[in-house]
Amino acid sequence: MLRINTVSLCLSGVLAFGLPSVLTGCGKAEDPAVKRDVYKAPAPRLNKNGQSVDLNGWDRSSQRTLDIHDGVDVRGSGAAQVEIAATCRRGDADSHRTITTNEQNLIPLLQFLPEDLLVADLSEKDAICGFKITLLNSNNSRHIFSIDNATIRDAQQPTASLEQNGRKLTEPRVRLSQGALNGINFRAPLPGSSAAVICRDARSPQLAVGAVGGISEFDLNGMIPREGRLDNVLETNAKQLCRIAFAVNGLNQAITPLFELQLSLAPLRLTAGPQDHRSSAGYDFDPTADSVLRGGSVQLMTFLVENPSASARTVRLAKQALNTQLYIYMGNRTERTQTITRRFIAVEPGGGVIGDSASHWKLSVPAQSQLQINVSFRPPTGLHCNDPDSTPFPPAGLPNFALDFLESFKVEEVGDNNQVIATMNADLGPRFYQNISDALIKKYQPAQVPNLCGW
C-alpha cells in the first residue's frame, strides 16, 4: 500500500521515522519569524522493463511485483536529495539497505536493494520488500512515500553480460571455476565504472574496468567476507553464487547474470609419512626378513594427504600398476626363467573411503586433518634352488617397477562431478627412493636364506 506523509521543517529540523508526520517549526511555535516550508512533491513513477508506470496505479494492482532491474523515477519532484530505505524478507532471513543520492532522474533498484538479494536465486524463492522513499528539497524539508509488500523477482535480461571466447553465455547459472577463467569475459554498458565480483558470502576488491574485461582480472584470492560472515567462510563455502556489479560513485548501475563460482581453497599437500618410519639406513621395514622371503609384504612408504582448510575435501587414488609381471631367474639365468604376474604393489587407504571402483578409490580428507595412505611391496614367494650347479642371482634392491610406481604416485583432488581440481605428487627426489632400495638390499638380501635364488 502506498502511504504519503508531508513533513515541513526549517533548515535545522531533523525528522526520524516514527515521529508525527507534520512538524510545524523549530523553536517556539508562536514565533512569527519562523517561516514554514511545506514541500509537496508528486509521487515517483516506476520504471518497469523500460515502461513508465504510475505508482498509485501500481500500488492498487493485484500484481504488485518489481524486478531487480526496474527503477524509481523521481523526475519532476524538485528533490535536491533522495533517501531510500529498503527492508526485505526472503524465507526467514531479513535484510536492510539505505542509500542517499543526489540523482534527480531514474534510480535503479540495484542501488537500494540489499546485496543479499542480488546474489540470491529469486527463481527458487521470491523476496518481499518494503521501501521508504524520502524526497528532500533544498530547505531540507521532506516528502515521504512508502511502498509495502512488493514481491521482488529476477526475470529481466541484465544489461551486463558474460562471454566465453566471444560467445554470449545465456544459460542460467553458468558454472565457473577460479582455476579455469581464461577466455571468460564480461561486457558492461558503463565504460569507466568500477566493478566487483559480489557473492553470497564475500566480495572482491573494487576494480576500475572498461567496457570489456576478463573475470580473471579480479582479485579472487583477496575476497573479503561480507558483514556478518566468519573470516574463514570461504574455506567452508568455496562454491559461491555470484554476479559482477558495476558501480558509479559507489552505487550499482548494472549487474551480470548470476553464475556459480568454485573458488580455489588452500591446496592439499601430499607428503611422506611419519618420521618414526625412518632409520639411519633410509627406511626401516617390517615385517621381519624371514617373513618377507616367505611371501610377506614390505611397507615401502606412508603418504599423508594434508587438508589445511576448514571443510572436508575429496580426493581419488588410482589403482594403477598394481598387477605387474616379474621375471624370476632359476639356476643358470640364461637357461631357465619363470614369469610371474601378480599384485606386487598394494595401496591401502588408512580410512575415509567413500567410493571404490575398479580403477579408483574415492576418499574424504577431513577438515584441518590428514589422511594416511600406505604403499607396500610383496616380493614373490621364496624360491629354493635344488640344482647344485645353480648360480644364485641376488636382487638388485627394489625392483624398478616398484620404484617407478612410487615416483609416479599421485593423488587427485576432485569436485562434485568428479572433475579433477588439482593433482598432487610427493616429489621426494631420486636419492630418497635410492635410500629405500639400499635399505631393502641391506635387510632382505638372499644371503639370509642361502638356497634362495632371487626374485
**167 and 148 housed in the same domain:** no
Is residue 145, in this structure, part of any structural domain at all? yes
Please return the burial class of 398, using the count of CB atoms within 10 Å of its CB with bins 0-12, 13-18 and 19+.
buried
Mean pLDDT, residues 262-271 taken together? 85
> pLDDT, tens digit, for every residue of 83-129?
999 999 999 999 999 999 998 889 999 999 999 999 999 999 989 99
User: Taking the model in full, what pTM does it have?
Assistant: 0.62
Is residue 232, in this structure, part of any structural domain at all? yes
Pull the grid cell for residue 313: 575435501
> What's the confidence (pLDDT) of residue 295?
53
Task: Tell me how crowded residue 44 is: count the other CB atoms within 10 A of its CB.
Answer: 25
**311 and 438 housed in the same domain:** yes
For the cut 80, the answer to whether the pLDDT of residue 280 exceeds it is: no
Q: pLDDT-based confidence at 430, cuts 50/70/90? A: low
Give the range among 10-24, 273-287, 364-378, 406-420 with minimum mean pLDDT.
Answer: 10-24
**296 and 324 housed in the same domain:** yes
Mean pLDDT, residues 246-254 taken together? 91
> pLDDT, tens digit, for every residue of 312-345?
889 998 775 444 444 444 444 444 444 444 455 6
Positive or negative, the CA dihedral 271, 277, 278, 284 is: negative
- Choose one of 134, 153, 172: the last residue of a domain: 153
From the list 296, 297, 317, 293, the residue with the least C-alpha distance to 305 is 317
Give the range among 72-81, 328-337, 429-438 with minimum mean pLDDT.
Answer: 328-337
Which of 311 and 201 is assigned the larger pLDDT?
201
**69 and 136 housed in the same domain:** yes
Is residue 454, in this structure, part of any structural domain at all? no
For the cut 50, the answer to whether the pLDDT of residue 159 exceeds it is: yes
Which of 143 and 62 is assigned the larger pLDDT?
143
**207 and 328 housed in the same domain:** no
Is residue 143, in this structure, part of any structural domain at all? yes
For the cut 80, the answer to whether the pLDDT of residue 151 exceeds it is: yes
DSSP code of residue 408: T
Is residue 56, in this structure, part of any structural domain at all? yes
For the cut 70, the answer to whether the pLDDT of residue 400 exceeds it is: no
Is residue 453, in this structure, part of any structural domain at all? no
Mean pLDDT, residues 58-66 taken together? 87
Say whether 293 sits in a helix, a strand or coil. helix
Give the range among 33-37, 54-58, 262-266 with minimum mean pLDDT.
Answer: 33-37
Quick check: 206 and 195 in contact, CB under 8 A?
Answer: yes
**257 and 274 housed in the same domain:** no
For the cut 60, the answer to whether the pLDDT of residue 449 exceeds it is: no
- Choose one of 153, 188, 215: the last residue of a domain: 153
**122 and 23 housed in the same domain:** yes
Residue for grid cell 635344488: 386
* CA count, 13 A, side-chain hemisphere, 107: 27
Give the range among 140-149, 356-365, 382-391, 398-407 with minimum mean pLDDT.
Answer: 382-391
Mean pLDDT, residues 262-286 taken together? 59
Residue-averaged pLDDT of the chain: 75
Residue type, 398: L
Is residue 337, in this structure, part of any structural domain at all? yes
Q: pLDDT-based confidence at 223, cuts 50/70/90? A: very high
Give the range among 229-238, 248-257, 360-369 with minimum mean pLDDT.
Answer: 229-238
For the cut 80, the answer to whether the pLDDT of residue 304 exceeds it is: yes
Which of 365 and 266 is assigned the larger pLDDT?
365
> What's the confidence (pLDDT) of residue 319?
72
The DSSP bridge pattern shows strands 337-343 and 278-279 to be unpaired
**235 and 302 housed in the same domain:** no
**235 and 364 housed in the same domain:** no
Residue for grid cell 573479503: 224
For the cut 70, the answer to whether the pLDDT of residue 182 exceeds it is: yes
**238 and 283 housed in the same domain:** no
Is residue 455, in this structure, part of any structural domain at all? no
Quick check: 295 and 343 in contact, CB under 8 A?
Answer: no
**297 and 388 housed in the same domain:** yes
**277 and 322 housed in the same domain:** yes
**Residues linked to residue 341 through DSSP beta bridges, in sequence order:** 325
- Choose one of 262, 296, 317: the last residue of a domain: 262
From the list 137, 135, 134, 147, the residue with the least C-alpha distance to 17 is 134
For the cut 60, the answer to whether the pLDDT of residue 35 exceeds it is: no
Task: Tell me how crowded residue 193 is: count the other CB atoms within 10 A of its CB.
Answer: 22
Range of the domain at 175: 161-262
Number of compact structural domains in the chain = 3
> What's the confidence (pLDDT) of residue 380?
52
Q: pLDDT-based confidence at 136, cuts 50/70/90? A: very high
Percent of the chain topping pLDDT 70: 66
Quick check: 243 and 255 in contact, CB under 8 A?
Answer: yes
For the cut 70, the answer to whether the pLDDT of residue 20 exceeds it is: no
